Chains A and B, each alone.
Chain A
Amino acid sequence: MPQFRIPGPLRNLSGGEATVEVQASNLRGAIEQLDARFPGFKGRLLDDDGQPRQFVNLFLNDEDVRLGKGLDSPLSEQDEIAIVPAVAGGSWPPHP
């Protein structure tokens, strides 16, 4: 099953769990399910328009979802969704 990787600051919502498995076909559904199991996640991750909050980065495997299909990104069995606070201080190589 696809799984979320929960960062330290949000583990108080997940009962201390660092990873949470979900059963969903896309990222939007996965967040709904995460929120159903651990209420509060949706409000922390998405803004009032239902878009990822400004300071929340969602990575599907190694890809920032905003560079791809966003919340419509399809999920498959082994996918990992990482929730990462916006941080920076250096560079990406030009051609990763």
Chain B
Amino acid sequence: MSHVLGLRCRECGTEYELQATHVCEMCFGPLDVAYDYDAIRRVISRARIEAGPPSIWRYRDLLPVPPEARVVTLGEGFTPLVKADRLGAELGLTNLYLKNDSMNPTNSFKDRVVSVAISWARAQGFETIGCASTGNLANAVAAYAARAGLECFVFMPNDLEEGKVVATAVFEPNLIAVRGNYDEVNRLCSQLLEELPWAFCNLNIRPFYAEGSKTLTFETAEQLGWKLPDEIVVPIGSGCQFVRHRRAAQELIELGLVDDGGDLPRLTAAQALGCAPAYNAWEAGTDRVAPVRPDTIARSIAIGNPSDGTYVVRIARETGGVVEAVSEDEILEAIRLLARTEGIFTEPAGGVTVGVLAKLARAGRWRGDEVIVAYITGHGLKTADVASDGIQGRRVEIDPTVSSFRELVQI
């Protein structure tokens, strides 16, 4: 593979050959893909990217999949960047954009990471794909494994909502319902991968999987006319995506692909107060993120012990962003605000993002003309039950007569 050098520990710098592993043997730090940027710089250009497919694969030169490999794709990425004038007007922001990643094939940003992970795994000869998940990741892994024709094992807690199970089971993976919570499921998977030659998307092939998130920033810059925004707002689960936003922005700057390159966007992190380990550390003025027991409707980002939590706090501080959190009521109100003003129905994680955006705007964080991008990472139909309170008072039942309509509807 010409443009990828290997894996490198983000903490201690120890280098490893390219392989399915995600943990540094020296310090347990996370491993990242290391690229040969000189080789990439010789080939990459705006024109080359713009001539590529309308998917994440137009940025293939910056993704860790061998050039000769056939990728596993469902057309993920290149989702709409919507100028949010009506939401912006409510918040006093004239250059607000929403990256609507609920428009992906399985309706969350996980399609980006899974497409990269499974493409890498298939190119390496893996025959079985696995993951531990409770929703978005499970949907994506099951769909892409089906597309690739690979064996698939999805491990889930046994008490999941039926909707999430159906949206995964339809792709006919081996669906393993574990009598335990997510943490126990994940630990089981980490033990299994020591015995089985499988590629677990969120475990041993995580360094490759994580790189898929960079395409969110690449697309944002391209859709803004090859400019980076002034600030971005990102929901935080493990923090993996947040870290990749910075890496992607740095790559765009260093490769000369953006105008006025030099400044990173301010990176602002959004959490639910019911699961806010990074926010707690931010408030306490420390990088050390202590685990919490999650209790929030934003289950897709309810990770009590986030692997990249420390980096979230550091990156927010270094770039001039903040870490903010919102209550359950604020999440629900934000879901309704986004739907009412922009016609986008998001899951609670998107409610966290918009809730934090609104909270910061109302507190006077911005002048009003900054270019701000908020990431809507999952679709509301996946968790329709949480928004069901919102339909009360929106429904009027009438007889099929004009008089009944006239009697009950004031127009």
Residues of A near any B CB (own CB < 8 A) = 5, 7-10, 12, 44, 53-57, 59, 62, 64, 66-67, 82, 84-96
Contact = CB atoms under 8 A, between A and B. Distances in A.
28 contacts: A9-B23, A9-B24, A9-B25, A9-B28, A53-B27, A54-B29, A54-B310, A55-B23, A56-B28, A64-B291, A82-B187, A86-B30, A86-B305, A86-B307, A88-B202, A88-B303, A88-B306, A89-B137, A89-B201, A89-B202, A89-B303, A90-B182, A90-B237, A92-B181, A92-B182, A93-B299, A94-B294, A94-B295
B290 interface: yes
B184 A62 contact: yes
Interface stretch (B32-40, B101-109, B127-135): B127-135
A59 B186 contact: no
A85 B190 contact: yes
B134 A91 contact: yes
A88 B186 contact: yes
B22 interface: yes
Interface in B285-316: 288, 290-291, 293-296, 299-308, 310
B27 to A, nearest CB: 7
Nearest to A66: B291
Given A55-B28, A66-B291, 12 more contacts: A7-B190, A54-B29, A55-B23, A56-B28, A62-B184, A85-B22, A85-B190, A88-B308, A89-B206, A90-B133, A92-B293, A93-B134
B14 to A, nearest CB: 11
Interface string B12-26: 000000000111111
A90 B296 contact: no
A61 to B, nearest CB: 11
A92 B206 contact: no
B27 A44 contact: yes
A91 B184 CA distance: 11
Contacts of A82: 187
A43 to B, nearest CB: 10
A87 B134 contact: no
B238 interface: yes
Interface of B: 11, 21-30, 131-135, 137, 157, 159, 181-187, 190-191, 194, 201-203, 206, 237-238, 240, 274, 288, 290-291, 293-296, 299-308, 310
Identify which of A44, A54, A90 gathers the most chain B CB atoms within 10 Å of its CB: A90
A12 to B, nearest CB: 7
Given A7-B194, A85-B190, A93 B182 contact: yes
Contacts of A64: 183, 291, 305
Contact of A85 (B23, B240, B290, B303): B23
A31 B201 CA distance: 31
A82 B201 CA distance: 22
A57 B182 contact: no
Nearest to A86: B307
A54 B27 CA distance: 9
Nearest to B303: A88
Given A10-B25, A64-B305, A89-B238, A84 B291 contact: no
A84 B25 CA distance: 12
Nearest to A12: B25
Contacts of A93: 134, 157, 159, 181-182, 299
B182 A91 contact: yes
A56 B182 CA distance: 18
A11 to B, nearest CB: 9
B27 A91 contact: no
A60 to B, nearest CB: 13
B28 A87 contact: no
B202 A84 contact: no
Nearest to A91: B302
A96 B293 contact: yes
Contact of B296 (A53, A62, A94, A96): A94
